[in-house]
Amino acid sequence: MMIEAIVVANVLSAVLTTDHPPRICLPFVLSLSLSSLAEKSFKYVIVGGGIVAGYAAREFAKQGVKPGELAIISKEAVAPYERPALSKAYLFPEGTARLPGFHVCVEVEERGSFLNGISLILSTEIVKADISSKTLISAAAETFKFQILIIATGSTVIRLSDFGVQGADAKNIFYLREIDDADKLVEAIKAKKNGKAVVVGVGYIGLELSAALRVNNVDSTMVYPEPWCSKLKIFTASIAAFYEGYYANKGIKIIKGTVAVGFGTNEKINVKLKDGRVLEADIVVVGVGGKPLLTLFKGQVEEEKGGIKTDAFFKTSVPNVYAVGDVATFPLKLYGEMRRVEHVDHARKSAEQAVKAIFASEQGKSVDEYDYLPFYSRAFDLSWQFYGDNVGDTVLFGDSSPTSTTHKFGSYWIKDGKVVGAFLESGTPEENKAIAKVARVQHLAQNLDKLATEVLTFARNI
């Protein structure tokens, strides 16, 4: 069977996320038979074709990678793209995002020949990795050799079938991780106009998909086991009350403190809840979390806290092997401890850091240690940012009423008399920069009552 590979001459171009306007620039590609790639050797290989791979390729281009040195191997059929668009603009009924509009931007200011020869090998799943022999083998038995490897396999969704939930693989039960998943969901939304949806889980995907479904006039219900909308445990009860109220005002129903334990199907899906209730739906979307894809490298690299252990340059325990994005457990400099972070912002920045470190090492130079901080999200007309750590006492400030016309409110986290974390909804770029500085500096704030009244003035004065 012939499997296509694509060698990208000017590795993709445009960016469209909800954070940036579209810049569309079509790539020039050359299709080849994989028979000509049966045994290929590259100086650098990136395993995985997500955001990490795209941002790493952009940094490779900036650093001056030579033709034929770099390959990206991806099991997906399309080039790296901005995944956040899938739960946002990709699902909008109007002004929808479509490829090539949100491919990861890998262009540089000078569009020169050094961009040529970056090999993008698609529809190719690596099923075996032997780090000691620097060899990767695909499902079609192709062999790829490398000198330096970047592990960018990312995460996969946790499925309800993993827990033995009855009927969890039924038709019209969706997960969202890749563009194929989004395409299937879009078709279901079109086919079930003005239908009903149940969203299981309240992480990023749960909140963002509930908003997108409602924008499509789908009657949506969110179901989650927590007593409040505790998104990644950043939301306190007070913060969660705003978002729950806001979503309820948008017509989204919320059922807390229970889980889906089974699904029955007739013309519609019957969602059976642990508390005995049964919800009827045309569409079910599950967003209960993800897990890093480490299987290929088990026993070959050191692991810690559920990820591949790296240093501040994303070097693993094996020379010339790097791990970035969701799969990496790295030293979080601000707190002096090892953490694994699943976030698009970290994916982008860790990819750039690893490539800079690779080239610096080759040139006998050094780069600064990775110093990660920001966190953000958006849905409807909301957009919050969180910086730092969510430990200690909390101080809520601003107008946190769900009916507020400005939606501007926030919270500080105080530990040992210092501000260690800061959250702000609907802040300006200047205000977001101010709360980020507060969290990084860990400024003294011993009088909590005074801190609540000073609100953003406190942050601006740091």
User: Is the Cβ–Cβ distance between 60 and 45 less than 8 Å?
Assistant: no
Domain-terminating residue out of 289, 317, 345? 289
Confidence at residue 374, expressed as pLDDT on a 0 to 100 scale:
65
pLDDT at residue 385 is higher than 80 = yes
Least confident of 12-16, 127-131, 390-394: 12-16
Tally of domains in the chain: 3
CATH of the domain at 386: 3.30.390.30
**pLDDT number for residue 459:** 87
Residues 6+ apart with CB under 8 A from 154: 48, 50, 52, 292, 293, 325, 326, 327, 347
Give the pLDDT confidence score for residue 231 in this predicted structure.
Answer: 62
Is the pLDDT at 265 greater than 70? The verdict is yes
Q: What's the confidence (pLDDT) of residue 447?
A: 83
- Work out the pLDDT band at 12, boundaries 50, 70, 90: very low
Percent residues over pLDDT 90 in the chain = 68
The CA R_g of the chain, rounded to the nearest whole Å, is 23
**Which residues on adjacent β-strands are paired with residue 384?**
377, 425
pLDDT in the model for residue 179: 95
Residue type, 412: Y
Last residue of a domain, one of 264, 289, 314: 289
Please count the CA atoms within 13 angstroms of the CA of 50 that sit on its side-chain side: 28
pLDDT band for position 232 (cuts 50, 70, 90): low
Mean pLDDT across 244-273: 94
Assess if residue 18 is contained within a domain. Answer: yes
Distance in angstroms (rounded) separating the CA atoms of residues 1 and 20: 40
In a domain, 376, yes or no: no
> pLDDT digit string (tens) for 137-166?
999 999 999 999 999 999 999 999 999 999
In a domain, 374, yes or no: no
Q: Are residues 276 and 185 in the same domain?
A: yes
pLDDT category at 29 given cuts 50, 70, 90 is very low
**In this predicted structure, which of 96-105, 168-177, 373-382, 420-429 has the lowest mean pLDDT?**
373-382
Report residue 39's pLDDT band, with 50, 70 and 90 as the boundaries. Answer: confident
75 located within any domain = yes
Residues 349 and 306 in one domain: yes
- Pick from 267, 289, 311: which residue ends a domain? 289
The verdict on residue 98 lying in a domain is: yes
Give the pairing type, strands 126-130 and 4-8: unpaired
pLDDT of 356 above 50: yes
Mean pLDDT of 271-279: 97
Least confident of 211-215, 388-392, 454-458: 454-458
Task: Answer yes or no: do 40 and 142 share one domain.
Answer: yes
**pLDDT at position 105:** 61
Cα dihedral 347, 350, 356, 360 in deg (nearest 10) = -150
What pLDDT band is residue 322 in, cutting at 50, 70 and 90?
Answer: very high
Residue 279: inside a domain, yes or no?
yes
pLDDT higher than threshold 80 for residue 15: no
pLDDT at 193 over 90: no
The percentage of the chain sitting over the pLDDT mark of 70, rounded to a whole number, equals 88
Q: What are phi and psi of 188, to 5 degrees?
A: -65, -40
CA–CA separation, 381 and 48 (whole Å): 33
Dump pLDDT digits (tens) for 425-446: 999 999 999 999 999 999 898 7
> With helix as H, strand as E and coil as C, how does the chain read?
CCCEEEEECCCCCCCCECCECCCCCCCCEEEEEHHHHCEEEEEEEEECCCHHHHHHHHHHHHHCCCCCCEEEECCCCCCCECHHHHHCHHHCCCCCCCCCCCECCCCCCCCCHHHCCEEEECCCCEEEEECCCCEEEECCCCEEEEEEEEECCCEEECCHHHHCCECCCCCCEECCCCHHHHHHHHHHHHHCCCCEEEEECCCHHHHHHHHHHHHCCCEEEEEECCCCCCHHHCCCHHHHHHHHHHHHHCCCEEEECCCEEEEEECCCEEEEECCCCEEEECEEEECCCEEECCHHHCCCCCEECCEEECCCCCECCCCCEEECHHHEEEEECCCCEEEECCCHHHHHHHHHHHHHHHHHHHCCCCCCCCCCCEEEEEECCEEEEEEECCCCEEEEEECCCCCCCCCCEEEEEEECCEEEEEEEECCCHHHHHHHHHHHHHCCECCCHHHHHHHCHHHHHCC
Q: In this structure, is residue 346 part of a structural domain? A: yes
Q: Quick one: how far is CA 372 from the chain centroid?
A: 15
11 plus 93 within the same structural domain? yes
Above 60 in pLDDT, residue 17? no
**pLDDT given for residue 355 in this prediction:** 98
Contacts of 359 (CB under 8 A, 6+ apart): 63, 64
Q: What is the torsional sign of CA 38, 41, 47, 48?
A: negative
Q: Which residues contact 336 (CB under 8 A, 6 or more apart)?
A: none
Let me know whether 146 and 165 are in one domain.
Answer: no
pLDDT at 33: 36
Tell me, yes or no, whether 248 and 117 share the same domain: no
Give yes or no for residue 40 having a pLDDT over 50.
yes
**pLDDT (average), residues 39-59:** 95
Q: Is the pLDDT of residue 110 over 80?
A: no
pLDDT beyond 70 at 422: yes
| 62 shares its domain with 98 | yes
Instruction: Name the most confidently modeled range: 3-12, 28-37, 38-47, 357-366.
Output: 357-366
Can you tell me which residue has the tokens 């990644």? 232
Distance of CA 287 to CAs 205, 284, 411, Å? 5, 10, 26
**Mean pLDDT comparison of 31-45, 136-150, 335-349, 413-427, highest-scoring range:** 136-150
- What angle (nearest 5°) sits at the alpha carbon of residue 106, between those of residues 208 and 31? 100
Same domain, 301 and 248: no
On whether the CB atoms of residues 110 and 181 are closer than 8 A, the answer is no
Q: Are residues 256 and 312 in the same domain?
A: no
What pLDDT was estimated at residue 107? 44
CA dihedral 74, 78, 84, 87 (to 10 degrees): -120
Is residue 372 domain-resident?
A: no
Mean pLDDT, the chain, whole residue set: 87
Separation in Å, CA 36 to CA 3, 33, 40, 45, 129: 11, 6, 9, 17, 21
Q: How far is CA 346 from CA 8, 55, 343, 349, 373, in A?
A: 26, 11, 5, 5, 9
Say whether pLDDT at 24 is over 50.
no
Q: What is the CATH number of the domain that holds 243?
A: 3.50.50.60
- Residue span of the structural domain in which 176 resides: 160-289
90 and 47 part of one domain: yes
Residues 145 and 208 occupy one common structural domain = no
Is 52 a residue whose pLDDT tops 90? yes
Question: Do residues 350 and 452 both lie within one domain?
Answer: no
Q: pLDDT (tens digit, 9 = 90+) per residue, 71-90?
A: 999 999 999 999 999 999 99
- Give me the mean pLDDT over the 307-319 stretch: 98
> What would the mean pLDDT of 271-288 be, rounded to a whole number?
96
